[in-house]
């Protein structure tokens, strides 16, 4: 093991050499088996290698937050217009019609709330129930540097191991504590750890400086979280910059369902992710809708 006092930040990320995707369209996935690749192909469009995910799992620790008071009225109508739905099994079963027939990234961690320490989570779904739901991926937080870092890593490892037995990808979601610095060094560390323990996809945050190196240093696809609600123009510009710097998609929630025009926002994100629109072009689409 390396001495902690001799760790140096990476510098040569091979920016001019893209990852090899000649054997499968997603980086890091060439050696997975058929079932794993099939589920990844349902989540990420093979023609672009990217995805637009709609996250509405916030209620598992926030309760009925703005925009999610009635998922059947706010999220279900948007489901046909996204590539992937990210939610809890309770919300999926009770408020999303199965005939929507969209891939599901299932929230599989819980055990906390906005009233307690967020990093103290547990695995909340057995693999058998994920199989019953027919999900395309399982997701859990990994809290690097937080009080319960070790436990959160263990949770994700358990999902990865059970997922590998049945060909279900695991998406590690980088959680950030209130006292942590949101910079390229931190997210480079968190995303790389998530990939090294075996996550097939990582959800993380965009940063203004160094994001390209975060992507290059992570050997599996990164999708960006939307985070707090931003003005639509800012959220679309953030999505554009992330895609331009190598992100494989977005997994946004509040920036969609708290928008004044959620469907228009979702379509604008699709324009950025799948059709090469800039942030400004996408915002014009949003305004014209």
- Could you tell me if 192 and 220 are in contact, meaning their C-beta atoms sit under 8 angstroms apart? no
Query: What would the pLDDT profile of 167-196 be if each residue is shown by its tens digit?
Result: 999 999 998 765 667 899 999 999 999 999
* H/E element, 249: strand 249-252
The 10 Å Cβ neighbour count of residue 69 is 11
What pLDDT score does 19 carry? 85
45 Cβ contact partners less than 8 Å away, ≥ 6 residues apart: 51, 83, 274
Based on the residue annotation, tell me whether 261 is a catalytic residue of this protein: no
Q: Is the per-residue pLDDT at 3 higher than 70?
A: no
Q: Is the per-residue pLDDT at 63 higher than 80?
A: yes
- Of the candidates 93, 195, 175, 95, the one whose C-alpha atom is nearest the C-alpha of residue 134 is 93
What pLDDT score does 22 carry? 87
Radius of gyration from C-alpha coordinates of the chain: 18
- Could you tell me if 118 and 88 are in contact, meaning their C-beta atoms sit under 8 angstroms apart? no
Q: How far is CA 249 from the centre of its chain?
A: 8
Query: What would the pLDDT profile of 222-237 be if each residue is shown by its tens digit?
Result: 999 999 999 999 999 9
**pLDDT band per the 50, 70, 90 thresholds, residue 282:** very high
Query: What would the pLDDT profile of 236-249 be if each residue is shown by its tens digit?
Result: 999 999 999 999 99
Alpha-carbon gap, residue 117 to 187, rounded angstroms: 20
Domain 34-40+47-223 has CATH 2.130.10.10: no
The 10 Å Cβ neighbour count of residue 76 is 17
Residues in the chain: 289
Please identify which of the residues 151, 203, 261, 267 carries the catalytic annotation: 203
What pLDDT score does 177 carry? 61
Domains of the chain: which residue ranges?
Answer: 34-40+47-223
Alpha-carbon gap, residue 94 to 70, rounded angstroms: 11
Average pLDDT score over the chain: 94
Query: What would the pLDDT profile of 90-104 be if each residue is shown by its tens digit?
Result: 999 999 999 999 999
- CA dihedral 161→165→170→176, nearest 10 degrees, is -10
- Of the candidates 39, 257, 232, the one whose C-alpha atom is nearest the C-alpha of residue 131 is 39
Which pTM value belongs to this model? 0.93
CA dist list (Å): 95 to 60, 80, 85, 202, 246 = 15, 14, 12, 26, 34
- Could you tell me if 52 and 266 are in contact, meaning their C-beta atoms sit under 8 angstroms apart? yes
Query: What would the pLDDT profile of 112-144 be if each residue is shown by its tens digit?
Result: 998 998 899 999 999 999 999 999 999 999 999
- Please give the structure tokens belonging to residue 166: 């049945």
Q: Is the per-residue pLDDT at 7 higher than 80?
A: no
């Amino acid at each position: 093991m390396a001495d902690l006092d001799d760790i140096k930040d990476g510098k040569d990320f091979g920016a001019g050499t893209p990852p090899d995707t000649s054997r499968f369209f997603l980086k890091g996935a060439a050696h997975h088996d058929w079932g794993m690749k099939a589920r990844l192909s349902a989540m990420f469009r093979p023609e672009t290698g990217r995805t637009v995910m709609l996250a509405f799992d916030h209620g598992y620790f926030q309760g009925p937050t703005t925009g999610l008071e009635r998922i059947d009225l706010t999220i279900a109508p948007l489901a046909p217009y996204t590539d992937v739905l990210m939610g809890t099994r309770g919300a999926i079963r009770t408020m999303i019609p199965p005939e929507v027939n969209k891939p599901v990234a299932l929230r599989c961690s819980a055990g906390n709330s906005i009233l307690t320490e967020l990093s103290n989570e547990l695995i909340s779904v057995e693999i058998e129930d994920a199989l019953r739901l027919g999900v395309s991926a399982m997701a859990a937080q990994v809290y690097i540097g937080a009080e319960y870092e070790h436990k959160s890593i263990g949770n994700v490892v358990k999902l990865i191991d059970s997922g590998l037995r049945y060909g279900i990808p695991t998406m590690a979601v980088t959680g950030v504590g209130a006292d942590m610095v949101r910079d390229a060094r931190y997210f480079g560390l968190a995303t790389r750890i998530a990939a090294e323990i075996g996550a097939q996809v990582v959800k993380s945050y965009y940063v203004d400086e160094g994001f390209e190196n975060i992507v290059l240093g992570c050997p599996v696809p990164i999708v960006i979280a939307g985070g707090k609600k931003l003005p639509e123009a800012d959220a679309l510009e953030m999505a554009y910059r992330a895609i331009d710097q190598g992100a494989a998609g977005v997994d946004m929630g509040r920036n969609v369902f708290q928008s004044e025009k959620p469907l228009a926002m979702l379509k604008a994100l699709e324009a950025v992710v799948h059709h090469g629109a800039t942030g400004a072009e996408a915002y014009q689409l949003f305004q014209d809708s």
